[in-house]
Each structure stands twice: as structure tokens, then as C-alpha cells.
Chain A
Amino acid sequence: MLVWFLPLFLLFLMVGLPVFFGLLAAPGIMLWLNGQEKDITLLYRNVYNGMDSFPLMAIPFFMLAGEMMNRGGITMRLVEFSQACVGHFKGGLAQVNILSSMLFAGLSGSAVADTSALGSMLIPAMEKEGYKRKFAAAVTAASSVIGPIIPPSGIMIIYAYVMGESVAALFLAGIVPGVLVGVGLMAVTRYLAKNGEYPPSRPRASWGEKGQASLKAFFPLLTPVIILGGILGGVMTPTEASAAAVAYAMIVSMFILRSMTLKDLPDVLLKAALTASVVLLLVGAAMAFKTVVSLSHAPEALAEFILTLSNNPLVLLLLINLLLFIVGMFLDAGPAIIILGPILAPIFISLGVHPVHFAVVMSVNLTVGLATPPMGLVLFVASSVSGEKVETIARAILPFLAVEIAVIFLITYLPQISMTVPWLTGHIACTEGATYMQCISPEPIPR
């Protein structure tokens, strides 16, 4: 009977109960009906224990660092740098928008922050230069999903914590897919610019201009180096690296660029605190939910059902990608990972998909969902920043979504794309004597 908590949870979710309450109400009601009242106390304890986590602290810290960088005018410098690098390409400002998102991704890890920071600056600029507003908003929304793919990434920290994976391995596995999405979007922009009526490109920046823009962007661009260098060098844990990123962002914004004052600090800290509180409660509730998932044997039942559809992991991966894509249309990436990770990951790991590979496929797929209608979070942010209707942006974003879907399939069926960097840096645990392929794509676990 306990297994009925899953449909009940889905029902609560569909009718609009906040995810936090749904994660607790559905298992709580079923435990109560099952006469297991004492286990409801266990739910509460697991919420608390789930929140009491040092690795999770990295989420508010990375958000804080990104917010400080943004307040400190660092976004502007990234845009100027991108302008000097790719402003002369076909579809100039659109290319600048995409490259800026890739660079911003290395600082913040949040698609929403990316859309609001870059959108408020670049959408009016693109419109002024002759781009249609809906196109400018669509490019901003589509490229912002790179934020949580290229490290640091809030949703990857959540995945790593909920599923007990290495944050460093997930961060590393996200680099190539993130760059791939960026390059793909740039290629589509180039194609659209060639065949559309976009304004002429700007003249190529001189070496002097490039040098000046690089100098101005030097300190902000050092942030991902500090974060990843600290983690990969074994010098710092991801949480420590995130705190170091906050300190660095503060020093750059307040003392080097002098573009943020002490007065701005409380607001920046409050934003991070509010985000932290919601994410922590959500993760805590997810850990409680996960306990009931295990108690109910729901994953086993679901696995049996999924395996009746096909035994071929490739077919199942296709089906799961479709499922994740549909889920991503309605639910934000964080809660979706929290809910589906503990249910789906064990099934695919037993089929021979590496845990880190599955984590990346799931994270990228659900992140792309942030830009898909009807409930894509960044579509709404892009709409509020640009003043364009959500449905208009949703239509304009379709060519970019096609590229992102193609990347999802590439990383699904070619684990080498995401797994090589963590393998090269020794962040994938391999059995002794295992070859590269055996390491990144292990044998299925006999059932």
C-alpha cells in the first residue's frame, strides 16, 4: 500500500501543492494510513538530517559570488570581452550573448541569474541594433541554460548530495557538454543570421581593443580557475572553494573595480539566504522522501516495469530522456532531480550506465527544460526582463532548443563527451586494470 505515495505525490504536484509540502504530505499520509505513525517522526528527522549538510553550503555561496560579481559590474566586463572576441561574427550581438553566458556560467551556475543579468543588458542593446526583441529574448533564455551545466552548478551540487556522488566529478563532467551547447547555439545563430534579416556584424576588434577588454575581464575570468583549481588540486572542498569565490568576488567588486559598496552587501546576502533556505528545505524533504522511496520498494517496482518496455539500455535511455524532457517542461531542474534522481538513477546504474554519466544526462536534460514551455523558468524571467510574451519567446526559441536536444542525445549515447575530463583527472573510480571504456561505461549489474 505504501507504494501509492508516488501517485499521490504526483497528484499533489499537479494540482499545485508546493514541492516541499508534497514531498512530505504524500508519504506522511500513506504512512499514517498504513498504521506507521511512528515513521512520520522519522520523516521529520530526515528533513533535519538532510539539511544538516556541509556540501550543500556551496549552493548559497556560489549564488552569493555570482550576485556580487553581477552587482560589481563584472557582467558588463564579460560582455565587453565577448564583444571583442566574437562581436564581428555573423549575428554579432547574439554571439556575444551566448559567449557571455558561457563565461557567466563559470562564475554563477544559475540560469536565472544569467537570464536576468545578461538579459537586462543585452536584450535592449540587441533591439537597439536592429534585432527583433523576441529573438534577443530567445537567445538570452536559450544560452542561459549553460549556467548550471558548466561548473559551478547548483543543481549538480544537489544531485551529488542526494545521490552521494562526487561534486568534483560532476563539475568536470559538465564542462564539455556546456561548451558543446554554447558552440551549437553559436552555429545556429550563424546559420539564422546568414539566412535571416539580422543587422550587419560589427567590424572586427583591433588587437588593442581585444587586449583592453581582456585586461578588464581578467579578474572576473579568474574565478572559475580559482574554483576548479582549488577543488581539483585537492586544496579545497567544493564548499571551501565556493566560500573562496565569495571572498574573491567581494575583493574584485569592492576593492579592485570599486563598483560595489558596503551598502549593497545586505541585499546580496539576503538574496542568497532566501535561496539557501528554500533549497535546504527542499533537499531535506527530498532526503525524507528518499527514505520512504526505499521503504516502499518503489524503485524495484518501477525498474521491473521499465525493463518490460525494453532490455536495451540505449532504448531505455531514449525513453528516459523523453520522460525527463516532459518533466522539465513542468518542473524546475532542482526539484525534478530531487524527486527523480533516487528513483531513476539506480535503475540505469544497474544497466551499466556510469553514475556520473547518468547524472550529467539528467542534469543537462532538466536544465534545458528550464527553457521549454509551458513552465520553463527562464522563459518567464526572459519575458519579465524583455517585456515580450512568454509564448512569443517560446516560439522564437525553437531552433535553439533543437540544438540543445541534439546535445542531450550526443551526451547520452557518447559517454566519452562528458566522462573523458573526469576520467583524465582521476575523478572516476575505476577497478584496477580497467580500460577507458570499461571505466566510463561499466558492465551491467546482474539482476
Chain B
Amino acid sequence: MPVILLAARALAAFNAPVLAVGRGIAIVLMALMVLVILAQIFFRFVIGDALNWTEEAARFMMLWVAGVAAPTAYRRGGFVAIDMVVLMMPRIIGSLLTLFLLFLALIVLVVGVQIGWGEVTGFGGRFATAALKYPTDLGFETWVKVPRSWMMASLLVGVTSMAIVNVELILRAIATMAGREADLPVIPESASVGAE
């Protein structure tokens, strides 16, 4: 058990600051998304010249918001699930079931990481986005289209971070089963979020 506790604490020490950085990025991207869409409305109706990159830029940012914020939501128990059966079962069976489900989720995430890596580095990632460009020199004279792989990497980053969070959750579940919950670092807040 000391090894499990040590590993759980080490992963918590890794996840907490990494996910905090993700949350910071998500906050900035959310604000930028609003600004970009407002710019789209402004240019179309006030200036009379519709911008062709705003929609794609906003989608780019939204995908990254999902990629960097979802691991926090997952770690805080924010993914919708029906936990009635687990709660109704005797403690030990409920804990075993939770562990099984976490392993199942880990398999999904690991397969996701594998496929995601192949997608980002493969054929699909070699295409460029339709309208997004970035400068290649400090004088902003040469602009190159943003590769699609930059956009696709958002989901890869998301599933990878969630896989690491998932391993932490598995270790926490094992420690909880052994009655060592009090020795685990506290994960703040625990509320599911959704469109309801």
C-alpha cells in the first residue's frame, strides 16, 4: 500500500499543476472565442467586410478548450454517470466495480491516444486549415497556413491528460478500498457539469 499511496501522491503532484495550467489556457481561450465571434459580427455588419478566418479560429480555440479543460472536469468527477448501482452495492463490491470501470475507461483512453497519435502525425494531419495563417518571420511578411494537425492535437492532448488522470483515479480507488482515503491529497470540487 505505501507504494500505491506514493504513486497516487506523485501523480497528484504532477496532475494538479499541469491541469491548473490547462485551466488557465482554457480561460484565455474562452475569452478569445467570444472576442473573435464579436469581431465576426462587427466586421460583417459595421464594416461590411466579412472576415473569413473568425469561424475557424473560434473552432480551433473551442477544440483546445475541450482538450485542456476536460481532464480537470474528469478529475473532479464532472463526467455524467449513473452511479446508483455502485452506491447501492456493498462497499467492497462497489469499490471493485468502480475499479473495473476505471480500467475500462483507461483502455478507451489508451486506444484513443494510440489512434490520436496516428491521426496527428499521419496523412490527415498533413493538410492545412482553410483560412488560418501564422507569420514565419518577425516582420509579418510571410504567412503560412496553420497545419490541421495543430487543431487535431487538441483531442490527443485531451485524451492523453485524461489517461494520466485516469491512472491517478485508479490508484486513489485502490487506496480507498484499503481504507487509506484520508492519506490521499484532496481533489477540489466534485460536481458533474452539462448543458442542463
Contacts and interface: CB of A to CB of B under 8 A. Distances in A.
A273 B80 CA distance: 16
B33 interface: yes
Interface string B144-186: 0000000110010010000000000000000000000000000
Interface in A229-277: 235-236, 239-240, 243-244, 246-247, 265-266, 269-270, 272-277
A273 B111 contact: no
Given A44-B119, A61-B34, A277 B196 contact: no
Contacts of A177: none
B166 to A, nearest CB: 10
Contacts, number: 208
B62 to A, nearest CB: 6
Contacts of A378: 196
A56 B63 CA distance: 11
Interface in B14-47: 23, 26-27, 29-31, 33-34, 37-38, 40-41, 45
A276 B78 CA distance: 12
Given A21-B105, A40-B111, A154-B196, A244 B41 contact: yes
B82 A375 contact: yes
A41 B115 CA distance: 6
A279 B194 contact: yes
Nearest to A384: B191
Interface of A (DSSP majority class)? helix
A298 interface: no
B119 A45 contact: yes
A398 interface: no
Contact of B37 (A16, A48, A57): A57
Interface residues of B, number: 58
A44 B70 contact: no
Given A54-B58, A281-B70, A13 B108 contact: no
A111 interface: yes
Contact of A44 (B31, B116, B195): B116
Contact of A335 (B67, B105, B194): B194
Interface residues on chain A, size class: 35 or more
B85 A110 contact: no
A275 B193 contact: yes
A148 B195 CA distance: 9
A47 B84 CA distance: 27
Contacts of B51: none
A16 B193 contact: no
A155 interface: yes
A317 interface: no
B73 interface: yes
Given A266-B27, A278-B78, A281-B66, A155 B108 contact: no
Interface string A270-292: 10111111111110100000000
A40 B116 CA distance: 11
B66 A247 contact: no
B108 A28 contact: yes
A99 interface: no
B104 A21 contact: yes
Contact of B38 (A18, A56, A243, A334): A243
A51 interface: yes
A47 B118 CA distance: 15
Contacts of B101: 15-17, 21
Contacts of B195: 59, 63, 110, 148, 154-155, 157-158, 275, 279, 333-334
Contacts of A57: 33, 37, 58-59, 62
B6 interface: no
Contact of B105 (A18, A282, A375): A18
A330 B112 CA distance: 28
A16 to B, nearest CB: 5
B86 interface: yes
Contacts of A54: 55, 58-59
A52 interface: yes
A240 B41 contact: yes
Contacts of A269: 26-27, 30-31
A63 B63 CA distance: 17
Contact of A273 (B27, B37, B55, B85): B27
Given A25-B108, A239-B37, A269-B27, A330 B196 contact: no
A276 B68 CA distance: 11
A24 interface: yes
Contacts of B62: 51, 56-57, 60, 276, 280
A68 B115 CA distance: 39
B97 A15 contact: yes
Contacts of B105: 17-18, 21, 25
A112 B86 CA distance: 24
A164 to B, nearest CB: 18
Contacts of A157: 195
A332 interface: yes
B59 A53 contact: yes
Contacts of B37: 57, 61, 239-240, 243
Q: A-B pairs with the 9 shortest C-beta distances?
A: A154-B195, A243-B37, A277-B69, A273-B26, A18-B79, A277-B70, A18-B81, A280-B66, A44-B115
Given A13-B82, A48-B63, A277-B26, 11 more contacts: A14-B82, A15-B85, A16-B84, A18-B81, A21-B104, A44-B115, A240-B40, A270-B23, A273-B69, A281-B66, A333-B196
20 contacts: A15-B101, A16-B82, A16-B84, A16-B85, A18-B80, A20-B80, A25-B104, A48-B155, A60-B65, A244-B38, A244-B41, A270-B23, A276-B65, A277-B66, A277-B67, A277-B72, A277-B73, A278-B70, A280-B63, A333-B196
